[in-house]
Structure 1
Amino acid sequence: MKSMKKILMGIAIILFGIAISLGPDSFLFIGWIVSLVGLIMSFIGYYFKEDE
């Protein structure tokens, strides 16, 4: 269950990063960085999931 929460949190962070990058041009790279952090978090949650 914890891995599912990490995957969903990663997806939420990715969407938040996309929303930031759609703002003014100065926030474009900040949005990309936030999205990459969310992507890494999702992969970690998927990779370390427990078989139930």
Structure 2
Amino acid sequence: MAAGTDSRGQLLHRTAEFAAEHIGGAFAEFPGGHLGTVEHPAAFADRVREVLLG
């Protein structure tokens, strides 16, 4: 599960974080909000790499 840092405290971010915890899965935050890939492309790509490579 994942959510954008700009949405911390909002319903969908809280839901994703809760669901990941509830099922024992991982939760990752990515730069920005809904358009993080557009607004922060380099930081977003770096974070994707971190998450996928563990």
**TM tier, shorter chain?**
0.3 to 0.5
Report the structure, 1 or 2, having the larger strand content: 2
Report the structure, 1 or 2, having the larger helix content: 1
Higher relative contact order, chain-length normalized (CA < 8 Å, sep 6+): 1
Query: Highest CA radius of gyration, 1 or 2?
Result: 1
TM-score for both structures, normalised by structure 1? 0.35
